[in-house]
Amino acid sequence: MDNEKQTEVKELSALQLDALKEVANIGAGNAATAFSQILEQKIDMSVPEVSILPLNEVPEILGGPDTLIAGILVKVVGDASGKILFALEEESADRLTNMLLDERLALESENKTEKIENSTLEEMGNILTNSYLNALSQMTDFSLLPSVPALAFDMAGAILEVAFLQVGHIGDYALVVETEFWNGDESIEGHFFFIPTPESLNKILAQLGVN
Amino acid sequence: MKKIRVKMADLNVGKEDDILITSGLGSCVGIALYDPRTKVGGLAHIMLPKAPNNRKNNNPAKYADTAIRLLLDELERARASKRRLVAKIAGGAQMFKFDNANSQMQIGARNAEAVKEILKKEKIKLLAEDVGKDYGRTMEFHLKDNKVLIKTVKGEDQVL
Active site residue B28: yes
Of A55, A71, A148, the CB nearest to B8: A55
- A165 domain residue, yes or no: yes
**Which is more confident, B38 or A82?**
B38
Kindly determine whether residue B27 and residue A156, on different chains, have CB atoms separated by under 8 Å: no
Q: How many domains, in total, are found in chain A?
A: 1
pLDDT digits (tens, 9 = 90+) for A162-207: 888 865 566 777 777 777 777 777 777 778 888 888 788 888 889 8
Chain-wide mean pLDDT for chain B? Answer: 92
- Burial per residue of B69-101, b for 16 or more beta-carbon CB atoms within 10 angstroms, e otherwise: ebbbebbeeeebeeeebbbbbbbbbbbbebeee
For residues B8, B70, B3, B39, the Cα torsion angle rounded to the nearest 10 degrees is 140
The answer to whether the CB of A54 falls within 8 A of the CB of B8 is no
Q: Is the pLDDT of residue B135 over 70?
A: yes
Query: Looking at the complex, does the CB of residue A53 fall below 8 Å from at least one CB of chain B?
Result: no
In a domain, A40, yes or no: yes
Q: What percent of chain A has pLDDT over 70?
A: 88
Q: What average pLDDT does chain A have?
A: 80
| Lowest mean per-residue pLDDT among A88-97, B19-28, B121-130, B133-142 | A88-97
Q: Are A94 and A69 a contacting pair, CB within 8 Å?
A: no
Domain of A157 in residue numbering reads as 9-207
In a domain, A44, yes or no: yes
Interface of B with A (CB under 8 A): 7-10, 23-28, 47-48, 52, 54-55, 59, 62, 93, 95-99, 104, 107, 134-138, 151-154
Partner residue opposite A161 with nearest CB, options B10, B28, B138: B28
Across A2-11, A59-68, A183-192, least confident range: A2-11
The domain that holds A162 is classified in CATH as 3.40.1550.10
Distance CA A202, CA A77 (A): 15
Domain membership of residue A1 (yes or no) is no
d(C-alpha B134, C-alpha B54), whole Å: 32
In a domain, A147, yes or no: yes
Residue in chain B nearest A161 by alpha carbon = B26
Q: Flag whether residue A64 sits within 8 Å of chain B, measured between CB atoms.
A: yes
* 8 A C-beta contact, residue A20 and residue A50: yes
Residue B19 contacts residue B140 (beta carbons within 8 Å): yes
- What is the ipTM score, two decimals? 0.86
Between A107 and B18, where is the model more confident? B18
The pair phi, psi for residue A119, each rounded to 5°, is: -70, -25
- Tell me, yes or no, whether A2 lies in a domain: no
Residue A20 lies in a domain: yes
* Residue closest to A196 by CA, chosen among A84, A42, A99, A30: A84
Whether A3 is covered by a domain: the verdict is no
What residue ranges define each of the domains in chain B, with the CATH number in brackets?
3-159 (3.30.1330.200)
